[in-house]
Amino acid sequence: MEFKKTVSLGDLDWVERKLQKIFGGNSDPTNFLERLILEGITWHCGGMSDPFQPIEEEFQITKKLVDITSLFGISILFSTKGFSTYGVDLNPELHTFQFSITNIENRNDLEPFVANIEARYALYKTLKSRGFKCGIRVQPFIPGITKINIVEKFKDADYFTLEGLKLVPQNKEHKEYLLNLLGLQGSDFRQMGLLNLHPEIRKEMYREFIAELERFNVPYSLADNDFHHISSGACCCGDPLVKKSTTFNNTAMCKKYGTDYSKENLLDELQGIGDCVCNSLFTSNRQEGGFFDYFNERTCKTVREFYEQRFNRASSPFSPQFLYRKNEEVLF
């Protein structure tokens, strides 16, 4: 692996300049990102790259990020598979943790570079003893690999989030490897951007796990987009771990209005953010919603336009039509 030759480092000077601008009274009220930051929405660090991977010891990107954001009172939820925080100046009033766990048997055939589970557990217990809120994110939940013993080991967690296995359809080598290893068939999955296990399969996978969480009185959420209505909190990462979340995410909408919330309900929750420009936040594979709407043949620039144009599509994860509600009264 020639990782160090290709590693891309975050531009912390840009972050600091941006925050000085926003909190210095020069924020742009039409900029969606700046509005969310100014309103104190919790940041999530670890969705694309682990903030506590070993290379942090050398480059200290997370340490510098925390040093900067703490000056502005920004709360951060860290998702990690790490075993050390590498001297980062953490504060339980601002920072919370989500440990990503797929198994506690150290399955190196699936995760060859992940630290030993006992080393990660030691960090979890140390943070808990120092007053940090710590959750467990079982992602991906892998059939036949992810077992209920995770709940027993982490029964004192502040929150659990479950999310099923997904496959990247373009990565045929990886897809075939996992199908063979797990004894699954391509027909067990359906296309939802990525290949997701059918909801009926996931429902059965989660049933025993959820019963165990309820036995230990641990709050939980399902992070699969079509199961977002099954949640103890108002966002899929969980209220104990998120100091402030938006009120217009679909978990919060289901919590407040039920699973048949209307477009009008959603637009009411935007609370002045609807006119913010958001098209610059969309990557190329989301151009339909971000730059040009092929159904209506008009540009989609603002948050309100994005929701208005896509709300009634069954393919939109924030639409009630996207939710899996078959036999909802006995879902679990």
Task: For 186-243, write each residue's pLDDT tens digit.
Answer: 999 998 889 999 999 999 999 999 999 999 999 999 999 999 999 999 999 999 999 9
pLDDT at 332: 61
pLDDT band at 302 (very low <50, low <70, confident <90, very high): very high
pLDDT band at 92 (very low <50, low <70, confident <90, very high): very high
Q: How many domains does the chain have?
A: 2
Both 80 and 180 in one domain: the answer is yes
Both 117 and 205 in one domain: the answer is yes
What's the whole-number mean pLDDT along residues 261-289? 80
The angle subtended at Cα 131 by Cα 127 and Cα 135, nearest 5°, is 60
Cβ atoms 30, 275 nearer than 8 A: yes
Both 134 and 265 in one domain: the answer is no
Both 200 and 57 in one domain: the answer is yes
For residue 330, being part of any structural domain is answered with: no
Lowest-confidence pick of 52-66, 70-84, 205-219, 287-301: 287-301
Both 220 and 296 in one domain: the answer is no
In the chain, what's the furthest Cα-to-Cα distance?
Answer: 57
Is residue 148 predicted with pLDDT exceeding 60?
A: yes
Is residue 76 predicted with pLDDT exceeding 90?
A: yes
Both 239 and 261 in one domain: the answer is no
Look up the domain containing 302 and give its range. 257-325
Both 236 and 100 in one domain: the answer is yes
Predicted model pTM: 0.91
Q: What is the CATH number of the domain that holds 200?
A: 3.80.30.30
Boundary residue ending a domain (196, 217, 245): 245
Structure tokens at 160: 């659990």
Question: Nearest 5°: phi and psi at 47?
Answer: -70, -30
For residue 106, being part of any structural domain is answered with: yes
Is residue 330 predicted with pLDDT exceeding 60?
A: no
For residue 12, being part of any structural domain is answered with: no
For residue 271, being part of any structural domain is answered with: yes
pLDDT at 196: 95
Boundary residue ending a domain (196, 212, 245): 245
Integer CA distances (angstroms), 152 to 213, 222, 230, in order: 9, 19, 21
Boundary residue ending a domain (245, 280, 311): 245
78, β-bridge pairs: 45, 97
Amino acid letter for position 150: I
Give the C-alpha separation, 289 to 37, whole Å.
Answer: 22
Both 173 and 71 in one domain: the answer is yes
For residue 72, being part of any structural domain is answered with: yes
For residue 160, being part of any structural domain is answered with: yes
Both 78 and 193 in one domain: the answer is yes
Both 161 and 263 in one domain: the answer is no
pLDDT at 305: 92
pLDDT band at 153 (very low <50, low <70, confident <90, very high): very high
pLDDT at 287: 47
Give the C-alpha separation, 28 to 137, whole Å.
Answer: 35
Both 241 and 112 in one domain: the answer is yes
Task: For 110-132, write each residue's pLDDT tens digit.
Answer: 888 899 999 999 999 999 999 99
For residue 157, being part of any structural domain is answered with: yes
pLDDT band at 52 (very low <50, low <70, confident <90, very high): very high
Give the C-alpha separation, 8 to 5, whole Å.
Answer: 9
pLDDT band at 329 (very low <50, low <70, confident <90, very high): low
Is residue 77 predicted with pLDDT exceeding 80?
A: yes
The per-residue pLDDT of the chain, averaged, comes to 91
For residue 295, being part of any structural domain is answered with: yes
What's the whole-number mean pLDDT along residues 54-58? 93
Both 206 and 312 in one domain: the answer is no
**Residue of 248, 219, 242 lying closest to 231 (CA atoms):** 219
Structure tokens at 66: 């925390």
